[in-house]
Chain A
Amino acid sequence: MASSLDAHLENLRESRVWRSIFRSGSGATNLHRALSVQQNVFLHLSSVKIRKRSLAFRVTWFLGTLSLGGLLILVVTGIPLMLYYHPSVPQAYADMKDLRFVVSAGVFLRNLHRWAAHAMVLLVFAHMFKVFYRGAYRPPREFNWVVGVILLILTLLLSYTGYLLPWDQLAFWAITVGSNLLSSVPVLGAKIRFLMLGGNTVNANALLRFYVLHCVILPLMAAIFVAIHFWRIRKDGGIYAGGADSGKGKRS
């Protein structure tokens, strides 16, 4: 039974249509394993081979991977949430109530998005401290550390802009407190705040701006910098495994 299923799968994989989609083909050889990474637009950001030592749990605690996992969960839950949400006052709040009482599994969707957002902020911070304490920021990885700092800021901005969207008291006043801080920037403070909120107070314009930032601009920027971050891991010699590894001379 199992063997005939395997045979069918193997036939499928060898078919013209399958081969036209997946360039690498299949097979249990290292050549095929290498091709499955190298010939895939997403996976080829990483190298075909990886230092065995760097896979041990204690090296990374998988914090970078988990941060990406948090981002994926947020994208997967965020897109359906957009279908049930209007960035207008006071409809936004009514949509929260609908998610709770009308939409099937709406409350679960919102819960998962919210908790995953908190988890991602925590994971990204943890990732940064772990990388620091391992000394993995050292050359040639110094620029990837900087990309990481940019991603940390993007994560905070994504979380912060999402915080306003439910348009309840918690959201409104948290954003009011935060944006008041901005106006203390010397000279330009009030201007920056006006630009961010689309007005002098947190109002419907601010909600729309935060919505566009949260759903379009910041996710796009995050996607670009995540791609650079992963690609640089490969270019800078793979995941830092500690010890005598300097990462130099290993450029794939």
Chain B
Amino acid sequence: MSDPKDFVAAIGSDSRKSPLRVAFVTRRTSPQVKAQDDGYVMTFPEAIFRAMVAVEALTLVLVAIALVWDAPLEELADPLQTPNPAKAPWYFLGLQELLHYFPPVVAGVLIPGLVVMALIAIPYFKINIEAEGLWNRNRTQRLRTVAAVVAVFAVFLVAFQVWAVLVPTLLVAGLMFYSAADRPTSTGFKRWLTSKPLSFWIMSWFLFQAAVLTLIGTFFRGPGWSFVMPWSGQI
């Protein structure tokens, strides 16, 4: 151990680099490196500066909007005069649209309750953790199951005449079947779709569905919740 030092100790002040950790490895015990460290930077200023810029940009955008457009203010509230249509805030209009098709206990309680429970449950299911491509294994069997579920659901939707759910559901199901018929030659978008797990399909269906219902409720519903065009002036 009387060898002279073959390294120099120095203080680095580069904020983009984390301080080096030096390990002295004696001969014949060289460890195998499986993964390299990602590289860390200092939270201050690297992350905090970026966060501040992002928040400032948001503030600028919102200030510009607030200067140009006034927040809506209608007449004084009058319990005797019901506007037609009476609409909930936009983020609840998807539910209000469902209320048009289903009884309140389904649209107002069952569906939002199930959505919240499903969201909470996501990280606790192994299938969502492994996130294996849906069609990687048992393809034929899974195709049959998906087709059966979609068919039963579609019959139910037709029976209740819920076109606003039926059409998006069939579109997503169509994409699923399209992605199932994977050829080794397929590339790009299709390859990407094929690699997606079941949770991806369910969440994407939910996102698409929520967006469609909210848009219909916001822009296409007039007096008596009748279907109108956004430019008809009856919303």
Contacts and interface: CB of A to CB of B under 8 A. Distances in A.
Interface stretch (B56-64, B144-152, B182-190): B56-64
A245 to B, nearest CB: 7
A111 B81 CA distance: 26
B100 to A, nearest CB: 12
Nearest to B82: A173
Interface string B82-107: 11001111111001100100011101
A51 B45 contact: no
Given A55-B47, A171-B77, A159 B91 contact: yes
Contact of A48 (B16, B42, B58, B120): B42
Contacts of A118: 90
Interface in A205-252: 241, 244-245
A166 B74 CA distance: 9
A152 B203 CA distance: 16
Nearest to A176: B86
B41 A50 contact: yes
A174 B89 contact: yes
B224 interface: no
A184 interface: yes
B123 A121 contact: no
A66 B122 contact: no
Interface residues of B, number: 73
A52 B79 CA distance: 57
> Which applies to chain A's interface (DSSP): helix, strand, loop or mixed?
helix
Contacts of B70: 107, 111
B33 interface: no
Interface in B38-72: 38-48, 50-51, 54-55, 58-59, 62-63, 65-67, 69-72
Using C-beta atoms within 8 Å of the partner chain, give the interface range for chain A: 35 or more
A68 interface: yes
Given A28-B13, A43-B43, A65-B55, A201 B83 contact: no
A184 B75 CA distance: 29
Contact of A172 (B41, B79, B90): B79
A149 B83 contact: no
Contacts of B42: 30, 33-34, 37, 48-50
Contact of B66 (A49, A72, A115): A115
A46 interface: yes
Contacts of B105: 184-186
B6 interface: no
B55 A66 contact: yes
Given A33-B42, A139-B123, A241-B38, A170 B79 contact: no
A33 B75 contact: no
Nearest to A70: B58
A138 interface: yes
Contact of A202 (B35, B73, B79): B79
Given A149-B119, A186-B105, A53 B38 contact: yes
B9 interface: no
A142 B17 CA distance: 30
A121 B90 CA distance: 10
B1 interface: no
Given A50-B47, A116-B62, A93 B76 contact: yes
Given A111-B70, A115-B69, A183-B104, 19 more contacts: A29-B13, A30-B13, A30-B15, A30-B42, A33-B44, A37-B48, A43-B44, A53-B39, A66-B58, A115-B62, A116-B62, A137-B122, A160-B89, A168-B77, A172-B77, A177-B86, A184-B104, A186-B109, A241-B38
Interface of B: 11-16, 18-19, 35, 38-48, 50-51, 54-55, 58-59, 62-63, 65-67, 69-79, 81-83, 86-92, 95-96, 99, 103-105, 107-109, 116, 119-120, 122-124, 128-129, 131, 200, 203, 207
Task: Return the 6 tightest CB-CB contacts between A and B, nearest first.
Answer: A142-B123, A184-B104, A181-B108, A172-B77, A69-B55, A111-B66
19 contacts: A29-B11, A30-B13, A30-B15, A37-B44, A49-B18, A49-B40, A50-B40, A52-B46, A55-B47, A65-B55, A111-B67, A113-B71, A115-B66, A137-B123, A146-B123, A156-B91, A159-B91, A170-B74, A171-B77
